[in-house]
Chain A
Amino acid sequence: MNMVFQINGRDVGIEVSDSELLLDTLRHIGFSSVREGCGVGACGSCTVLVDGKSVSSCLVLTSRCNGSSILTSEGLADDDPVVSQFIKNGAAQCGYCIPGFVMMVSELLSENPIPTEQEIYNHLEGNICRCGSYPEIVQAAMDASKAKQTSKLTC
């Protein structure tokens, strides 16, 4: 079918097959931050936001996103507080899983701007980092929350 959606703010019109998954569509278009890990929704490497909500793109039919707005980590600004705090905290080793973590933290902070450490753990519990960078990732999430609050106050 022919469909139109927004990816990182730009309108994209494509033709997709009935069974095509969002993960494959996004990678074919060139969004290589979206990565397959487990393929069954359990690891979080392929996380993107569809209309602001996190999904495992390996389980979502592209055709279901007709008219939706998709955000991948390529769509975040260089000075995005979540991205900045991941870099500042060295919250990555090999980096394969990191775009997924960044998108999950972005969703969490939009729903819950000042999460507790436990709430961060709860939201990220379905994301797997085989390098074990969890302490740095959680710290980056807490620092991003603080940075967002500070930037709000100074605006």
Chain B
Amino acid sequence: MRPNVFRPQSLQEACSLLEEHEEALVYGGGTALQILLKQGILVGSSFIDISGIPGLAEISFTDDFLRVGPMVTLRRMERSEEIRELFSLASSAYAKVANPRVRNTATVGGNIAHGDYRLDPPVALLVLGASVELTSRNSIRKVPLEEFFVDFQVTDISAGEIVTAVEIPRSIHLAGSSFVKLSSLSANDWPSASAAVGLMENDNGVHTLRLALGALAATPVMATVDIRNLNLDQTLEASLSKAMELMDPIADVRGSVKYKLRLGRVAVEEAIRSAWKEVPNGR
């Protein structure tokens, strides 16, 4: 069956269409959906193409947040100078997705909504304390990213809801950060393990390490580690033990459970060492 494509011109119209057509999927950039169609995993779906709705492809700053519209491409996140300056961790993770062509097509909203456990951007966004705005015909709600990924390929998006923004709080200041992606096949394939690390600092120095992992459990996962008064070696030890609690890898063509656990430790250690170097007065 050939897919039907609806082309709403307003958010209200898109939400109504989603309510009327329960089986319909929101079409962002379409890179993931087209592959799933070709693989025969998606059959006969209809799509709601939201590219004609004004205002969904904007990057804006409010007093409190960086607000990214769902139709902003991944490549814009990679190349935006403002984002590179304020949230380099986000830029570096977006820059690691697939290849430049896919990043020119794929969108911020679609990427999050895909909900795959191996995606790169969510790992960085978790460390940055991001949230997702979900809009339906009757409501708008904001979900912290930590609660957004529910289970394997399952997100908190309910029937009738559309991702209308990803927001990063401007209050988060990372003294050092790093994203590490390790792949066992080609460099632009899905990772076997990825890790993002952010170091939070106050007048007394670095106090908290925010750690998120990709491809190492059924969803992207995160934890914070209290590193007050810890040196680098102690920080590594505390963080790796926390990471071991989070990891529950799925064996596949990209590696066995044992291999991914090992690679996960390497990714965490590399990310911490690299973030630590960015702290001007590291211990």
Q: A: which residues have CB within 8 A of B?
A: 17-19, 21, 39-42, 44, 47, 53-56, 58-61, 63-64, 104, 107, 123, 125-127
B5 & A41 in contact (Cβ 8 Å cutoff): no
Given known A-B contacts A40-B35, A60-B30, A125-B188, A54 and B104 have beta carbons under 8 A apart: yes
The complex places the Cα of A135 from the Cα of B34 at a distance, in Å, of 32
Which residue of B5, B27, B35, B105 contacts A55 across the interface (Cβ within 8 Å)? B105
Within the complex, the shortest CB–CB distance from A68 to chain B, in Å, comes to 11
A41 touches B101 (CB 8 A): yes
Q: Does B283 contact A (CB under 8 A)?
A: no
Given the contacts A41-B98, A64-B51, A53 and B104 also touching, CB distance less than 8 Å? yes
Note all chain A residues with C-beta closer than 8 A to B34. 21, 41, 58-59, 61
- Looking at the complex, which one of B2, B35, B75, B100 makes contact with A59 (CB distance below 8 Å)? B35
Instruction: Tell me, yes or no, whether B155 is within 8 Å of chain A by CB.
Output: no
Contact B100 A126 (CB under 8 A): yes
Pairs A–B under 8 Å by Cβ, sample size 19: A18-B5, A19-B3, A40-B38, A41-B34, A41-B98, A41-B102, A47-B101, A54-B100, A56-B105, A59-B30, A59-B105, A60-B30, A63-B7, A104-B101, A107-B100, A123-B100, A125-B99, A126-B100, A126-B102
Contact check: which of B38, B101, B187 meets A44 at CB < 8 Å? B101
- Report chain A residues within 8 Å CB of B31: 41, 56, 59
- A62 nearest CB across to chain B (Å): 11
Chain B window 53-89, contacts with chain A (Cβ cutoff 8 Å), 1 for yes, 0 for no: 0000000000000000000000100000000000000
Separation of A59 and B35 alpha carbons in the complex (Å): 7
Minimum CB distance partner of A60 in chain B = B105
User: Are A63 and B5 in contact, CB atoms less than 8 angstroms apart?
Assistant: yes
Q: How far is the CA of A24 from the CA of B100 in the complex (A)?
A: 21
Are A56 and B102 interface neighbours, CB within 8 A?
A: yes
B: number of interface residues (CB 8 Å):
23
A26 to chain B, nearest CB (A): 15
B100 and A18 contacting across the interface, CB-CB below 8 Å: no
Whether, in the assembled complex, B49 has its beta carbon less than 8 Å from a beta carbon of chain A, the answer is: yes
Closest residue on chain A to residue B99 by CB atoms: A126
Given A18-B3, A42-B99, A126-B188, A64:B49 Cβ within 8 A = yes
> In the assembled complex, which residues on chain A have CB atoms less than 8 Å from the CB atom of B5?
18-19, 61, 63
* B38 and A39 contact, CB distance less than 8 A: yes
Nearest CB on A from B238, distance (A): 34
Residues on A with beta carbons closer than 8 Å to the beta carbon of B51: 64
In the complex, besides A56-B105, A60-B30, A63-B49, 9 extra interface pairs with C-beta distance below 8 angstroms are A39-B38, A40-B38, A54-B104, A55-B105, A63-B5, A104-B101, A123-B100, A126-B98, A127-B99
Q: How far is the CB of B152 from chain A (nearest CB, A)?
A: 21
User: Is B234's CB within 8 Å of the partner chain A?
Assistant: no
A17 to B100: give the CA distance in the assembly, Å. Answer: 27
Give every chain A residue within 8 A of B7 (Cβ-Cβ).
Answer: 63
Which residues of chain A come closer than 8 Å to B4, judged between CB atoms? Answer: 18
Chain B residues, Cβ within 8 Å of A21: 34
How long is the Cα–Cα vector from A8 to B5 in the complex, in angstroms? Answer: 27
Q: CB-CB contacts of B20-38 with A at 8 A, as 1s and 0s?
A: 0000000100110011001
Q: A18-B3, A19-B2, A125-B188 are in contact. Are A61 and B30 (CB under 8 A)?
A: yes
Smallest CB-CB A-B distances: 10 pairs: A126-B99, A18-B5, A53-B104, A59-B34, A56-B101, A54-B101, A40-B35, A19-B2, A41-B102, A59-B31
CA A55 to CA B2, docked complex, whole Å: 23
Expressed in whole angstroms, the Cα–Cα distance for A47 and B101 within the complex equals: 8
| Structural contact, B99 and A41, CB atoms closer than 8 A | yes
- Residues of A with C-beta under 8 A to B187: 125
In whole angstroms, how far apart are the Cα atoms of A17 and B188 in the complex?
A: 32
Measured between C-beta atoms, what is the minimum distance from B278 to chain A in Å? Answer: 21
